[in-house]
Structure 1
Amino acid sequence: MEALRFTGKTKKLEYVQIPIPKVSQPNQVLVKVAFSGVCGTDLHIISGDFPCLDETFTLGHEFSGTVYEVGSAVHNVKKGDKVVVDPNDGCRCCDFCHSGKPHFCKIGGKTNLGVHNNGGWSTYALVPDHLVQKLPESITLQQGSLAEPISCLSHGWDMLSPVPVGSRILVIGAGIIGSLWVCLLHLQGHRKVTVSEPNVNRLSFLKKLETGYDLVTPTQLGEKSTADPNYHFDVVIDCSGFCPAIEQGLSLLDKGGKLCCFGIPPPGAKISVAPFDLYDREITIFAVKVNPYSFVKSIGFLEALGQKYLDYEKLGIQVFDLKDYQKALSALKAGQVAKAVFRL
């Protein structure tokens, strides 16, 4: 089968042919991968900015497919089922796991698929049964490839809520995560939303969603705030992980506002914050880490969003064959596409 393999020690990415993995444990599921997304985290891994397995392994933690074979103890799915895979796991024994916070598990984080174990940038993927979620018939495998990022949004939405309809909201960054936040906010009835993004190509993708949101560059955002001293927001959702952008968003929060740090910054990056300013405006700042127990909720979001929002063309998603991975990664880095997805 074809696979994209990455070696952590040498930071080398290779397109190779390897044997199809075999079901050797009772709880294993062999998934024939249909679509497998490229995440910003994958780019950080390839560039050496994100910790991963030192040895050679298959990347990819956002994928959908069809069950090809199951172990003797698997009962939640059967051969032929359409499924998505939650790549994040916990040890299910530590205090964090038992308190409903498996994303803090020190052991489980080292077993995550596509980061510390073989993932979905391959024709087949072998995964534990407890990480497999069956898809309803109403959700396509293309849409299913977005289940993992949407499950992270679902966790963020739970943390951010309640957000009253009519709130003034700023979304920073119009990559695929920012675009999905736009879809979620519009679905929930929010209309006073501004999106800030320096790449005009990405802003043009958002226009296709026809939300009526205010789409601006960071420069235009600064000009608006300079021209109007009352130009503020109740909620700022940063999807960029870019420190200057986060600082700009923080400066535009109104009293009692919330800053949601959703984008992943490089390790060691810092923002400058005046604690007195936080006190004076009673600002809430929180960050979102992956998707603890929110994968099932992502299925509900996929059903609710449907083709109206999850249209690849509207979202700026381009599909590539796995062998064309260099074109896919280059297009993503250059901002020519909002997201690249491999078709297996």
Structure 2
Amino acid sequence: MRAMVYRGPYKVRVEEKDMPRIEHPNDAIVKVTRAAICGSDLHIYHGMMPDTRVGSTFGHEFVGVVHEVGPSVRNLRPGDRVMVPFNIYCGSCYFCARGLYSNCHNVNPNATAVGGIYGYSHTCGGYDGGQAEYVRVPFADVGPAPIPDWMDEEDAVLLTDALATGYFGAQLGDIAEGDTVVVFGAGPVGLFAAKSSWLMGAGRVIVVDHLEYRLEKARTFAHAETYNFAEHDDIVVDLKKATDHLGADVVIDAVGAEADGNLTQHITAAKLKLQGGSPVALNWAIDSVRKGGTVSVVGAYGPMFSAVKFGDAVNKGLTLRMNQCPVKRQWPRLFEHIRNGYLKPSDIVTHRIPLEHIAEGYHLFSSKLDGCIKTLIVPNNH
């Protein structure tokens, strides 16, 4: 089969690779029909995720058609259209039993924190991802679900991570009716978090970013007020002024997508951009939320070398909530919102790229060229 292969930081290409095979009775092999490049893929693309091995295939957002199933799979059969959550999980351990699918204890030998994730380095279990023609899906009776007949596969692929994570970010914020919500980051997750905040009763939603085309999307897609932090001397002061000098009720840190900068800048946090390995956005969140407020963190954080304002969070009496999204837990509500017309996830898709051109797709997305917000990958087999 053809698959995207990692060859080192900023180097990806499409190569011939062995077809995945059934390795366990509960595996399925899925023929991928749509995949996506996620903001958090940029962390591994830029070489900032430990133990990302040459030869691995990325991609944790994908949907497809079941090609083959192992002998113990009961819920799926060849030919089924399926959506696959980015979490790989067993469904029966202590954490899965409590709905913490992203913290499964049985799928990642390095699982001090996170469970398994498709295509996200050996730190997350070493599973190959879906930016390929075929992918092995473990625990096939647990994670994947049939795509409803009425749902478009381009909406379904966004439910496998970006939409579910944005919705989860709003959920963690514990939004009360009429609350003012500030979202840092206007990538796909931030856009979905802002849109979801309205569904949870927010009275006002503000999105902060530094890219004007993404802020425009936040205004049109998420109906949010917007601030370009590059145009403000002190974004925290200006957010305070905009909220009766109290601060927002809820702040969502959705800054997974800005994973740029070199190691020195990450250690010193000298590059004051929103980025995955520096706590600038997290500190802005702590500073701009009101006393007694809630900070929700769903941005993908890599190793952090510089200080988080934890003392300020303590003294302000903040609630901090965070996790990788347990995707499948969000689906029942999201299915209803999509079916009722409140959400059209694929509205944020700006680019569709053949698998063969995935290197250009990564460059486009990484460098924020051509107004790129969300890129879908279309395998050659489709």
1:281 aligns with 2:316: yes
Aligned counterpart, 2:267: none
Mapped to 1, the partners of 2:119 and 2:249 lie a distance apart of 36
Aligned residue for 1:58, secondary structure, equals: coil
* TM-score in terms of structure 1 length: 0.86
Larger helix share, 1 or 2: 1
1:239 aligns with 2:239: no
1:329 aligns with 2:339: no
* 1:64 to partner: Cα distance: 0.7
Q: Given residue 334 of structure 1, which amino acid in structure 2 is its aligned partner?
A: S
Instruction: Give percent identity, aligned residues only.
Output: 23
Mapped to 2, the partners of 1:151 and 1:207 lie a distance apart of 20
1:258 aligns with 2:275: no
Aligned residue for 1:57, secondary structure, equals: coil
Q: 1:118 is matched with which residue: 128, 131, 146? A: 128
Aligned residue for 1:30, secondary structure, equals: strand
Aligned residue for 1:139, secondary structure, equals: coil
RMSD: 2.8
Aligned counterpart, 1:13: 12
* 1:55 to partner: Cα distance: 5.3
* TM-score in terms of structure 2 length: 0.78
Q: Given residue 351 of structure 2, which amino acid in structure 1 is its aligned partner?
A: Q
Aligned counterpart, 1:310: 344
Q: Work out the number of aligned pairs and report it.
A: 337
Mapped to 2, the partners of 1:223 and 1:53 lie a distance apart of 39
For structure 1, the residue ranges without an aligned partner over 5 or more in a row are none
Q: Given residue 139 of structure 1, which amino acid in structure 2 is its aligned partner?
A: M
Q: Given residue 327 of structure 1, which amino acid in structure 2 is its aligned partner?
A: E
Distance 1:268 1:225, change over 3 A: closer
The answer to whether the 8 Å contact 2:65/2:80 transfers is yes
For structure 2, the residue ranges without an aligned partner over 5 or more in a row are 110-115, 121-125, 257-273
* 1:47 to partner: Cα distance: 1.6
Mapping 1:1-344, distance limit 5 Å: 1-7=1-7, 12-23=11-22, 25-54=24-53, 56-90=55-89, 96=95, 101-105=100-104, 108-110=107-109, 111-115=116-120, 116-128=126-138, 129=140, 130-149=142-161, 150-161=163-174, 163-209=175-221, 211-218=222-229, 219-220=231-232, 221-222=235-236, 224-225=238-239, 230=245, 232-240=247-255, 242=274, 243-273=279-309, 275=311, 277-291=312-326, 294-305=327-338, 309-312=343-346, 314-335=347-368, 336-344=371-379
Mapped to 1, the partners of 2:12 and 2:168 lie a distance apart of 31
Mapped to 1, the partners of 2:197 and 2:351 lie a distance apart of 23
Mapped to 1, the partners of 2:73 and 2:93 lie a distance apart of 24
* 1:194 to partner: Cα distance: 0.5
The answer to whether the 8 Å contact 1:86/1:148 transfers is yes
Distance 1:269 1:124, change over 3 A: same
Mapped to 2, the partners of 1:30 and 1:45 lie a distance apart of 24
Mapped to 2, the partners of 1:334 and 1:320 lie a distance apart of 16
Mapped to 2, the partners of 1:91 and 1:26 lie a distance apart of 13
The answer to whether the 8 Å contact 2:179/2:250 transfers is yes
Mapped to 2, the partners of 1:297 and 1:234 lie a distance apart of 23
The answer to whether the 8 Å contact 1:103/1:109 transfers is no
**For 1:144-203, what per-residue CA distance to the aligned partner results, in whole angstroms no more than 9, with x for missing partners?**
111222333454444332x11210110000001101112212233424010001110111
Mapped to 2, the partners of 1:327 and 1:261 lie a distance apart of 30
Aligned residue for 2:191, secondary structure, equals: helix
The answer to whether the 8 Å contact 2:143/2:328 transfers is no
Distance 1:227 1:95, change over 3 A: closer
Mapped to 1, the partners of 2:88 and 2:349 lie a distance apart of 30
Q: Given residue 117 of structure 1, which amino acid in structure 2 is its aligned partner?
A: Y
